[in-house]
Amino acid sequence: MPILRLPRIPAGEITDEPVYRDRRRLLAAFAASPLLGAVSGCAEAEPPPPPKTAISSADAKAGFRTDEELTRYEDITTYNNFYEFGTDKGDPSRAAKTLRTSPWSVAVDGECARPGRVALEDLLHGLAPQERVYRLRCVEGWSMVIPWLGVPLGDVLKRFEPTSRAKYVAFTTLADPKQMPGIRYRSINWPYREGLRIDEAMHPLTLLATGLYGKPLPQQNGAPLRLVVPWKYGFKSIKSIVAIRFAERMPPTAWHDLQPSEYGFFSNVNPDVDHPRWSQKTERRIAGSKSKLFAGRIPTRPFNGYAEQVAAMYAGMDLRKWY
């Protein structure tokens, strides 16, 4: 069968070009940037948006849902950051189709009473998936509104009975060079790792997502299991998780390791603390019919608009120091 070569929209027209190139250049300083050819891209059928039921005041107060215009399924699933599959926005949707997401298990260890390797079905057993409509703000300056399906991370973590020494939770993504072409390039120090403080991990907004738009998570969005922390920059929301560790000390994390002065451990969305090389005051909102090309800029809000729910966790902390 011939390989379909779809016309590629010049990257400059669909990305926050300067910023995104800059972030990629940082990686290139560590290793040659991958040269991935264009391969066939197959558009998925657009699922209907979740029914628009009125948002209860309890959900609105908790930050569980927003009535902002949703980002289209097509944009959520074709404009991705998942460097294990390449550094272009379109690479993951082309290259991740072959990621085997079943069987899947997660190894849980560290400061807890019940460590062990658990099959995904057992990890989630008895926890009903909830719909959460969250804003996602990438450090590169674009944002989406995504209807996730998932379970509160805290409900899952409690099953392992963390000890009082568990001050942090560390997460690791699968790193299989046979399935993930981007792993061949030593850009990030694979495997991709992220971490949260234990109170952040237990916060009701913190989600382990298993789906979006009422469907299972596509591979490019981090199937079968990814973190979603809506008040932090997108890179904290680690994809395709294979290990969780309860730790006494702040764990190493992928982007922080690469450039600590640019990517902090906390990485709470903050319009008042610019990235050293670009402003974080505004963002390009990719939503509704204003997809990629036509998205307009809107002001970025402290904690990505979730200050009411999360700011108390950082009371007394200098957010310029702990960026």
Beta-carbon count within 10 A of 14 CB? 21
Least spacing, CB of residue 191 vs ligand MTE, in Å: 8
Asked if residue 138 belongs to a known ligand binding site, the reply is yes
Angle at 151 between CA 77 and CA 94, to 5 degrees: 20
Stretch that binds Mo ion, among 14-22, 81-89, 102-110, 204-212 (CB under 5 A): 81-89
Stretch that binds Mo ion, among 93-101, 170-178, 229-237, 244-252 (CB under 5 A): 229-237
Interstrand relation of 207-212 and 193-197 (parallel, antiparallel or unpaired) = unpaired
Asked if residue 79 belongs to a known ligand binding site, the reply is no
Least spacing, CB of residue 54 vs ligand MTE, in Å: 27
Q: Is 235 in the site for Mo ion (CB under 5 A)?
A: yes
Least spacing, CB of residue 234 vs ligand MTE, in Å: 3
Q: Tell which residue, 307, 76, 68, 97, has the closest CA to residue 205.
A: 307
Measured from the CB atom, the residue of 95 and 254 that comes closer to Mo ion is 254
Least spacing, CB of residue 137 vs Mo ion, in Å: 8
Give the one entry of Mo ion, ligand MTE, none that residue 173 binds, where binding means its C-beta sits below a cut-off of 5 to 8 angstroms depending on kind. Answer: ligand MTE
133, amino acid identity: V
3-class SS of residue 262:
coil
Measured from the CB atom, the residue of 83 and 111 that comes closer to ligand MTE is 83
How many Å apart are CA 316 and CA 323, to the nearest integer? Answer: 14
Count how many residues are written for the chain.
323
Asked if residue 289 belongs to a known ligand binding site, the reply is no
Question: Within 125-184, which residues bind Mo ion (CB under 5 A)?
Answer: 138
How many Å apart are CA 243 and CA 81, to the nearest integer? Answer: 20
Q: Is 222 in the site for Mo ion (CB under 5 A)?
A: no
Q: Is 92 in the site for Mo ion (CB under 5 A)?
A: no
For residue 157, the 8-state DSSP code is H
What is the DSSP track for 172-229?
A: EE---TTT-GGGGS-SS-SSPEEEEEHHHHTSTT-EEEEEETTEEPPGGGTTT-EEE-
| Close Cβ partners of 163 (under 8 Å, ≥ 6 residues apart) | 111, 112, 113, 246
Number of residues that bind Mo ion (CB under 5 A): 4
Least spacing, CB of residue 249 vs Mo ion, in Å: 25
- Residue showing tokens 């490019």: 220
How many Å apart are CA 170 and CA 201, to the nearest integer? Answer: 10
Chain position whose Cβ is nearest to ligand MTE: 234
Q: Is 227 in the site for Mo ion (CB under 5 A)?
A: no
Asked if residue 239 belongs to a known ligand binding site, the reply is yes
Least spacing, CB of residue 238 vs ligand MTE, in Å: 5
Q: Which helix (H) or strand (E) holds 19?
A: helix 17-28
Q: Is 234 in the site for Mo ion (CB under 5 A)?
A: yes
3-class SS of residue 280:
coil
Measured from the CB atom, the residue of 93 and 309 that comes closer to ligand MTE is 93
How many Å apart are CA 5 and CA 296, to the nearest integer? Answer: 30
How many Å apart are CA 103 and CA 268, to the nearest integer? Answer: 34
Measured from the CB atom, the residue of 81 and 221 that comes closer to Mo ion is 81
Query: Which residues contribute to the site for ligand MTE (CB under 6 A)?
Result: 80-84, 136, 138, 173, 192, 221-222, 234-235, 237-239
Annotated binding site: 80, 83-84, 138, 173, 221, 226, 237-239
Annotated binding site for Mo-molybdopterin: 80, 83-84, 138, 173, 221, 226, 237-239
